[in-house]
Structure 1
Amino acid sequence: AHHGAQTIELDLHRLPPAHTLSLKNSTVAVDQYWRLEDVPEVRLKNPDDYAEGFLEVYDRAVRDRLRSQHPAGVTLSGGLDSGSIAALMARALGEQGQRLPAYTSVPLFDVSKTIGGDRFGDELPFAKATADFAGNIDLYEINAQGLTPVQSMRQGLRMHGEPGHAAGNMYWIQDIMAAAKKDGVGTLLTGQGGNATISWTGRKSPRDMVRRYIKANMWRSLLHYGVCAITPASLQPLLSSLAHRSDNRWQGSAIHPDFVKRFKLQDQFDQQAGQVTNSAVWMPARTQRYAIIKPGSSFLGSLWAENGAAYGMEVRDATFDKRVMEFTLSVPDREFRGPQGEDRWLIRRAMQGLLPDQVRLNRRRGRQAGDLSQRLLDSSAEVEAALAEVEACPLAQAYLAVNRMRKVWNSVQKEVNVQNANRTVTILTRGLMAGLYLVDLEKAS
């Protein structure tokens, strides 16, 4: 999958968000009618006005998405994005004496060996706290016991017609959709766009950046974060490019190194992303946020529309509401940092009294598909068969680092740990889904 108009099929294009398509005298014209980048910053005298204004706009966006002929439901994780949507939905439905069905993905296996740092792999306790606090949320635990990761990848290819970045999440997404459909839900709300809008962390100070990253890699961190902190903004992209321009950056993916060189993927990456990624903390806050949102080019709306269509429902996301994005991008970056350096302070402040403090003030983040490695091991014969298909496919061998995928799988079979659990996501499952697509493509040719 690729952001923008281009799909994996060269002759097929999608209409990007905030664009119109018109046909006149056999001429097709695609025009952009709105640009998030044009939203000006707004400065208010009272800092509390930002939180109050945000909540008013956000609540309206949620309520507008409850307009439906069919019952509405929500995907609920343990975090602020879906939690805030669930809380506002529950309040609106409660005014009419209605209850809200919420669906939470839960692990089948112990995740203590696969989740490290400040992450948690079981979101149920936080989701339950949100549901209990609202009082009218019916929480359903979705463990996807009857759907293996490989089965969900194959189903995902049938649904979307192309491999996806979230290959390792397919099983729980599809099982939630199936459960909601079975319960008669016709409109499902989710919060996929919150990271750069409603729950933006706020840009860290140069001191915080150096302190955090120096622990991981002293010399690289000093160069990338220390030097960048005192380098003029106009020269920072060049400095980052020099620091990162290496074939090693692709070692964490399933992309074949020869393919990287043949198609000059590094050059394409630099041109399209301008050396800006969602981890480019050396860039201005707005630039970082644009890198996550991808205004005018993101395919997330299309992806979730396809998910919904496959299960006969409509998926809606209030975090991508035009009014919400405009408001949150207009808020000065300092308002997203709390008095004690807390991140995501705008939504934490706005949701006081609507979310339990256990969730509202939690600084740890959930990790989706925390037991993916164990699920693959539990269906190891199926994984082995799929990997063998990919290994036997000349087309897949030309594009994918199949040996790297095999190495990750062998490592997982010996011992599941945090490091290979991450590679299971970034190398094995993404590579498998892409490989299975190429297998089908070769069979069809």
Structure 2
Amino acid sequence: MSALAGIIHATPDRPVERSTRDRLAAVLSRYGRDAQNGWSRGGALLLRSLLRTTPEDCLDSQPLQSPASGRVLLFDGRLDNREALARQLDIAAADLRLLADSAVVIRALDAWGEQALDRLLGDFALASWEPGPRRLLLARDAVGYRPMFWVRGEGFFAFASLPKVLFAIPDVPRRLREDALHDYLCLLPLDKQATLFHGIFRLEPGQYLVVEGGREEVRRYHRFGESGLLKLADPREYVDGLAEQIGRAVAPRLRALGPLACELSSGLDSSTVAAVAARQLGKTGQRLLALTAVLPEGRRDGPAPPGFHRDEGPGARALAAMHANIDHVLVESTTPSPLQGLQERIESTDRPVFNPCNAHWVQALGQAAQERGARTLLNGWQGNLTISHDGLPWLQYLFSRGRLLAWRKLARSMRRRYPWVPRRWFFEFCLAPHVPASLWSAYQRRRGSGKDLADYSAASRVLQRRYDTPRRARQRGWDLLYRGHPNGVRLRVQPLYQVEFAETCLAMNASGLDPRSPTMDRRLVEYCLSIPEAVYLHEGCLQWPLRELGRGLLPEEILASRTRGYQAGDWFESATAARAELGSLLAQFRQHESIGDYLDLDGLQQLLDDWPADDWQRPEVETRYRNKLLRAMSVGAFVRYVENDNR
């Protein structure tokens, strides 16, 4: 994996200054410890830093220049269909073994131009510069696990893997974009190509940018959710197809330099990835290092919110016991102060930390992997959008279309499987999307349940009025009350373009790790979106395809569990111990000239003053403290970082 940067001056006779090149290279070097190289000619500068994570990375010599076309390529990523592309490009198998992924990509671009992008599978971002026509092409893969940012300045265009690299250019100021910060605080999708920085833009997943003749144009080569539904005669056929797709998603992600590690929780996503990876590795006598985050002995059986369990060790151990080639390690970690390491994480990703509590156990797993020689860490990120989708939108769909007999039959099937779910829930869940937001909110408040924007967001009233939050949410088709939607495809596609993991992946590269998520393989995502919603809720069973596939693949400790693993189960104890520290930081925020415009500081102080002595596992406490309060602290720290103000 690589970190990329480039500057293209408007005229070829203006070289990039050496001091600017050195600053860019210094920032990039943190994210690629194994090699740093550059290319400079005709008013253009291209730089990359490399972290070797596949055997073929040892052959990589970027920036590459094609002898056929003259184009210069920077490629950050992993190509998952190398062999298929090689056959299409008439590259012999013997020659392919001597080519890095970037060398295959540059041949694909020479052969097919921009049409090559839709043929590339894997996590990637790339930059292709053609010196003759002075034409620049930037692109991201369809899933978007590798980042790409850009800026246009006076007489130049620049791009990089992170905004901080662009800020190393003297003419690029670091300024906060207020409307984007509002959207982030309210959990709304950002404007297209917007970032949290004024004047800095990003490519969305599946997009590419062409810069030519002093103009730039963003185009899209791929969008999820447009391929239609798959129609098969027998529901079991969908399960067989899912098994094939998961296997095809895992296989290319096993191409690694050194030992392979995998996150392993007691949930369906990571356990499925670990099980499939272990089976495939076992065929060639290879082993898999499986890492499970747990609390220290004696603290694992404490309280957890309804529907969750604190100790993920038993389920993970049961899965590991099914595979002789899994080396299972319980990684004990406690959640220190939620403020510990916060500033470093913000600086590493150029973003607020969305969930400060989770960052610590993720870091602990990464350190455990590195200590055992692994550079690749498999995971099941965003698997709830793909393989473990629950199918509940189908229940809402039947109700909204007036198919009440079918709805009643399905609800009864679910009641037999999940008798602890009250009957009232079925009516409330299906009515919710059709009731005006104000009425639904009032009803939920009266019942002591539900959550409004003020429960989970610390956005100040001034900021909400300035950008008219309800109207902004409606324009983007976003429900601030999270009541679900009868269109399951739409419900899952939205987060694919809202939630960014790319900067997190790059930050893990800085620590020497390459995170890989088979559950977000492009082909697997497309297949899961093509499965009819009714199949996910077949015979009233949530997540039916994956649970059917899990028979014989996963242990009963995971399949039969009524609860989910609760990550960072000791977060409240740690936050309580840091209460004075949180109060001190909040006092500093009050001294800042603009943070009070963005955050409801009085509301946050009230949370600190009303700190619960017990019953913290109630959902409303977690929403207000773990989500609202701690996320607000992260946003405030981010604002100070952007404005370089440590008051």
CA contact under 8 A between 1:73 and 1:187: conserved in structure 2? yes
> Corresponding residue for 2:324?
135
> Corresponding residue for 2:467?
263
- After superposition, the Cα gap between the structure-2 partners of 1:388 and 1:415, relative to the gap in structure 1 and judged at 3 Å, is farther
CA distance in 1, matches of 2:603, 2:454: 11
Secondary structure of the structure 1 residue equivalent to 2:193? coil
CA distance in 2, matches of 1:223, 1:329: 26
Question: Which of 614, 627, 632 lines up with 1:431 in the alignment?
Answer: 632
CA distance in 2, matches of 1:139, 1:342: 30
Question: Which of 197, 220, 225 lines up with 2:430 in the alignment?
Answer: 225
1:52 and 2:256 aligned: no
How far residue 258 of structure 1 moved from its aligned partner, in angstroms, is 2.1
- After superposition, the Cα gap between the structure-2 partners of 1:119 and 1:253, relative to the gap in structure 1 and judged at 3 Å, is same
TM-score calculated relative to the size of structure 2: 0.61
CA distance in 2, matches of 1:164, 1:85: 26
- After superposition, the Cα gap between the structure-2 partners of 1:321 and 1:262, relative to the gap in structure 1 and judged at 3 Å, is same
More helix by share: 1
Question: Which of 384, 401, 404 lines up with 1:195 in the alignment?
Answer: 384
CA distance in 1, matches of 2:375, 2:468: 44
CA distance in 2, matches of 1:22, 1:278: 39
1:84 and 2:272 aligned: yes
**Runs of 5+ in structure 1 lacking a partner?**
229-235
Residue range with higher mean Cα deviation, 58-67 or 25-34:
25-34
CA distance in 2, matches of 1:248, 1:56: 41
- After superposition, the Cα gap between the structure-2 partners of 1:129 and 1:394, relative to the gap in structure 1 and judged at 3 Å, is farther
CA distance in 1, matches of 2:193, 2:391: 30
How far residue 80 of structure 1 moved from its aligned partner, in angstroms, is 0.4
Question: Which of 318, 326, 345 lines up with 2:544 in the alignment?
Answer: 345
1:287 and 2:490 aligned: yes
Q: Please give the per-residue CA displacement for 1:210-265, whole angstroms capped at 9, x wherever unaligned.
A: 9968757xxxx96773375xxxxxxx4xx444546899532332211221112212
1:318 and 2:518 aligned: yes
Secondary structure of the structure 2 residue equivalent to 1:300? coil
CA contact under 8 A between 1:78 and 1:123: conserved in structure 2? yes
Q: Please give the per-residue CA displacement for 1:324-347, whole angstroms capped at 9, x wherever unaligned.
A: 0111111111211243x2200111
Q: Please give the per-residue CA displacement for 1:310-333, whole angstroms capped at 9, x wherever unaligned.
A: 212211111111110111111111
1:157 and 2:361 aligned: no
- After superposition, the Cα gap between the structure-2 partners of 1:398 and 1:328, relative to the gap in structure 1 and judged at 3 Å, is same
The percent identity for this pair of structures is 26
CA distance in 2, matches of 1:226, 1:254: 28
> Corresponding residue for 2:456?
252
Q: Which amino acid aligns with 2:472?
A: Q
CA distance in 2, matches of 1:201, 1:278: 19
Q: What are the within-5 Å matches in structure 2 for residues 170-249 of structure 1?
A: 170-203=359-392, 205=395, 206=399, 208=411, 225-226=430-431, 236=434, 239-241=435-437, 243=439, 248-249=452-453
Q: What are the within-5 Å matches in structure 2 for residues 296-311 of structure 1?
A: 297-311=497-511
CA contact under 8 A between 1:277 and 1:288: conserved in structure 2? no
Q: Please give the per-residue CA displacement for 1:251-281, whole angstroms capped at 9, x wherever unaligned.
A: 3322112211122122212212x13479433
Residue range with higher mean Cα deviation, 176-185 or 70-79:
176-185
TM-score calculated relative to the size of structure 1: 0.86
CA distance in 2, matches of 1:191, 1:277: 27
**Runs of 5+ in structure 2 lacking a partner?**
1-183, 400-407, 416-420, 443-450
Tell which has more relative contact order, 1 or 2 (C-alpha 8 A, sep 6+): 1
Residue range with higher mean Cα deviation, 376-385 or 401-410:
376-385
Q: Please give the per-residue CA displacement for 1:342-377, whole angstroms capped at 9, x wherever unaligned.
A: 200111111221111221233422222221111223
User: Please, what is the CA RMSD of the aligned residues?
Assistant: 2.9
For the pair shown, which has the larger CA radius of gyration, 1 or 2?
2
CA contact under 8 A between 2:355 and 2:627: conserved in structure 1? no
How far residue 161 of structure 1 moved from its aligned partner, in angstroms, is 1.3
How far residue 70 of structure 1 moved from its aligned partner, in angstroms, is 3.0
Q: When the two structures are aligned, how many residues end up with a matched partner?
A: 427
CA contact under 8 A between 1:197 and 1:324: conserved in structure 2? yes
Q: Which amino acid aligns with 1:264?
A: D
